Structure 1
C-alpha cells in the first residue's frame, strides 16, 4: 500500500485516534447522572493550614476567651480544640451561612464519644482576651498551631447522599471519576477544614446521623426507609468544623480518626452555636 507524505500522516493520525478511543472506557448512564448531581452540590471548603503571619485562628493551645466567658466543662472536663475568627473567612470563600462577625471556640470531651456534644462550640462577638489556662483536671493538652485558610471546593461523597456503593453498578474507573469532582485534597491527607462536606473514613450517611442524634434517636440503619420528615430535616446540616488526628499537635482520635462538627444552617445564620452535633470516625 502506497501513501503520499500527507496521506501517511492522516493514516497514522486516524489509527492513533481509533486506538485511543478503544482504550477509553464507556461511561454508564448511572455515572453520568451521578456526576451531574454531584456537580450541582459542590460547595466551597476552607483547609486550615499553618499561618505565615499568625492571627487569632488556631488549633490547640489555650483559648483566648473574651472577658467573663468561662471554660466549659464536661464529665471529665473539656480540652480546647480550636478557635476561628469568622471575620477572616469572608475574603477567602463564600460560606454564606456563617455569621460575618465574632469568633467561635471548639472544646472536646474524650468521654462523650457517641453523644451529640462530644465537641461543644462557644460563639462570641466580644473582643478576645488573653489565653485562658485549662481548669484543673482537664486533659489532654494539645500543642498549638496558628492557621490560615486555603480555598478548595468539595463535593459530597456517595455515603453523604445515602447511596450504598455495594448496590451501584459502577466499575473502578467510574468511581474514580466521581471521587475527582471537587478539588479538595485527597481524603487520606491531613485535613482540618471548615465548610463543604466531610471526609468520611467509614461509610455513613452523616446528615442522617446528625438528625438522629439531635432528636435522641438510635443511629439510622443503612438501607432502612427513612421517614420523610427526618430526610427533609437532615438536608439542613452543614459541616462547621472537621478536625483530623494530627501527631504534630498531639491529637489522636481513636486510631487516627477525625472529629466532625455539624450545625443546622438556620442556627448558624442566627449565630446560635448551642445546638451543634458532633460525630467521630476512626480506622
Structure 2
C-alpha cells in the first residue's frame, strides 16, 4: 500500500469520527496534512494541530478544505501542493519554514510531508487542550478513539515512510527533554539525545514584568531516522534574530543530502 493510500484510510476513519462525534466541538473540521503524502519522504514535519486563519474565521465554519473532503465524490486525498514550499502559503509558519528551517536547503521542501500530531482544527492550541481535559472526564471513550487514530497515523507514516529526519514543533519552557519524551511516551520510539542548543532571553512584557524565555533545538537519534525538536513553536511572534540564526545553523548542518 502506498503511503498516500495508508493516510487516506486514516483520513476516512477520522472523518467518520468527526462527523458522528466531534463536528459540534470542532466545526472547522480536520486536517492530517497540508502537503501531498509522498512515498519515501526525506523529512516529515510535525506541527501541533491545524489552525484556522483570519479569513476562514471571518467566513465561518466549515473550513474551506472540508468542502472537498465532504463532497459525495470525494477521493479523500490530500493537497496537491506544499504550503511551505517557495512560492507557497504566506502564513507565519510557512514563511518561517522557508526563511529559517529550510533557508539553506529550500530544495528539500518538495521532499517533505507537512503534518501535525493532532488533526482537529482550532483557532489556538489551548482550545484543543481544554477539550482533551474535559473529554477525559466526560467522554473518555471518544477521546481514546481519537488519540488512537492520531497516534497510529503518525506511527505508520514514520515507520513506513522511513524519513531521514523528523522536525517537530513542540516543547515546554519548564521541560527541556519534552520533545524526546513525547516521541517515547506517545509514539513508542526510542530517541537517544545527541545534542541540544539553548538560548535564554529576558525581556519586559507590556506590564513591565521581566519574562524569561528559553529557546531550544534538540537533536536525537531514533534509529534509522534522526529527530529535531524545536521549542517554542515557530508560530511564536517574537523569536529574536540571534535565535533565528542559531536555528538556521543548527538545522542546516543536520539536513539530509
The TM-score normalised by the length of structure 2 is: 0.28
The TM-score normalised by the length of structure 1 is: 0.26
Higher relative helix content? 2
> Which structure: larger Rg?
1
